[in-house]
Amino acid sequence: MIILDGKKTSNDIKNEIAAEVEKIKKRGEKVPHLAAIIVGNDGASLTYVNAKVKSCKRVGFESSLYRLPNTVSELELLDKIEELNQNDDIDGFIVQLPLPPQIDTQKVLNAVDPDKDVDGFHPTNFGKMALDMTSFIPATPFGILELLERYDIPTKGKHTVVIGRSYIVGRPMSILMGRSGFPGNSTVTLTHEFTKNITQITSQADIIIIAVGIPDFLKAEMIKDDAVIIDVGITRVPNDEAEKGYVIKGDVDFDNVSKRASYITPVPGGVGPMTVSMLLKNTLLATERHKKRAKERIKANQ
């Protein structure tokens, strides 16, 4: 059994991005700029956004953080998004989820300029991804693809079972694993809370990607020997014996499943660190695209 080390892989990617930023600086060009909007004081969201800011600093990106109160109106948030859309200095930005109940999340995500949507949630980017066109791939699925590629895990002709159908992980993964190319060319089964006889399906899977938010959902008896297990789940489970009063659990019963798997991601330290790195990679891609378009505009005006 081989651990898919997201922490190490994420560090490798950050080093590669930092090297690219150095080249950009030597050419005297503008360095990538990633911004984030966060609403309220959700602990997990704050931790995640702070990790992004720290990572930006490490690779040499500019970063901006816009904090809005929990009471902010939908209109005020949309105004802030439009301000960032119009700011040519910002290459990409994200709106940290979840948002408070007074705000329509889909309306907010739709308001982000698709060319700056480095989270890959805009319908334009999602549609392009589904059509195998160049687009921003959502950061978590992008990170999973990168892990599969860097560990050279065969996906062609394999049966991939995706558990969970969120637009952030499950649905995009089901599309990406079935696309032409590597990682891809899998036969994909998308399962969810209403899937009957799920063990019958998972026990036939060569690759299982799970994102349901239910700790220890996937048990050893649900998989076949040598399956590849990608655990996207991350839940704080109360535990009086733990120093923080909780332990972090994935969707996979790691101790038992790891005895049968060929490859498995740990929680924490698996998919999580990859998400931030791929967000940085998307921002670098956004910077390159904006640069290319600016050159094309100058050429067209000459």
User: Over the chain, what is the mean pLDDT?
Assistant: 95
Residues 79 and 145 in one domain: no
- Give residue 300's pLDDT: 81
Residues 108 and 54 in one domain: yes
> Is 92 in the same domain as 143?
no
**Domain assignment of residue 128, yes or no:** no
Q: How far apart are CA 187 and CA 158, in angstroms?
A: 6
Annotated binding site: 164-166, 234
Paired strand residues for 3: 264
115 a catalytic residue? no
- Give yes or no: residues 180 and 266 share one domain: yes
- Please say if 102 is a catalytic residue: no
Nearest alpha carbon to residue 2 among 258, 267, 274? 258
Domain-ending residue, one of 113, 148, 170: 113
Q: Which CA distances in Å does 86 have to 56, 204, 289?
A: 21, 49, 16
Catalytic hit among 52, 158, 249, 281: 52
Same domain, 88 and 206: no
- pLDDT tens-place string over residues 91-123: 999 999 999 999 999 999 999 999 999 999 999
Q: Does residue 105 sit in the same domain as residue 156?
A: no
What is the model's pLDDT at position 236?
87
**Residue 7 within a domain:** no
- Assess whether 96 carries a catalytic annotation: yes
User: What's the pLDDT at 59?
Assistant: 97
Residue 219 CA neighbour count, 13 Å, CB half: 5
In terms of domains, do 189 and 74 share one? no
297 falls within a domain: no
**Residue 160 counted as domain residue:** yes
Q: In this structure, what token pair is assigned to residue 81? A: 């998004």
Q: Which residues are annotated as a binding site for NADP(+)?
A: 164-166, 234
> What pLDDT does 296 receive?
81
| pLDDT-based confidence at residue 78 (cuts at 50, 70, 90) | very high
For 216-252, what is each residue's pLDDT tens digit?
999 999 999 999 999 999 998 999 988 889 999 999 9
pTM of this structure: 0.93
Q: What is the pLDDT of residues 257-300, one digit of tens each?
A: 999 999 999 999 999 999 999 999 999 999 999 888 888 888 88
Write out the residue range of the structural domain in which residue 80 sits: 28-113
Shared-domain flag, residues 182 and 97: no
Active-site residue identified among 119, 206, 231, 253: 119
Please check whether residue 195 lies inside any domain of the structure.
yes
CATH number at residue 61: 3.40.50.10860
CATH number for the domain spanning 175: value is: 3.40.50.720
Tell me, yes or no, whether 224 and 104 share the same domain. no
3-state SS track over 66-107: EEECCCCCHHHHHHHHHHHHHCCCCCEEEECCCCCCCCCHHH
Q: Is residue 6 part of a domain?
A: no
Are residues 250 and 145 part of one domain?
yes
Q: In what order do the strands lie in the sheet with 2-3?
A: 2-3, 263-264, 228-231, 207-210, 159-163, 187-191
Residue 300, in any domain of the structure? no
pLDDT of 302 over the 80 cut: no
Q: Same structural domain for residues 254 and 162?
A: yes
Clarify whether residues 103 and 147 are in a common domain. Answer: no
The domain boundary residue, chosen from 79, 113, 147: 113
Quick one: DSSP state of residue 4?
-
Domains identified in the chain, total number: 2
Q: Which residue out of 5, 14, 91, 96 is catalytically annotated?
A: 96
Indicate the pLDDT class of residue 174, thresholds 50, 70 and 90: very high
Residue 133 domain flag:
no
Percent of the chain with pLDDT over 90: 87
Q: Where does the pLDDT of residue 55 fall: very low under 50, low under 70, confident under 90, or very high at 90 and above?
A: very high
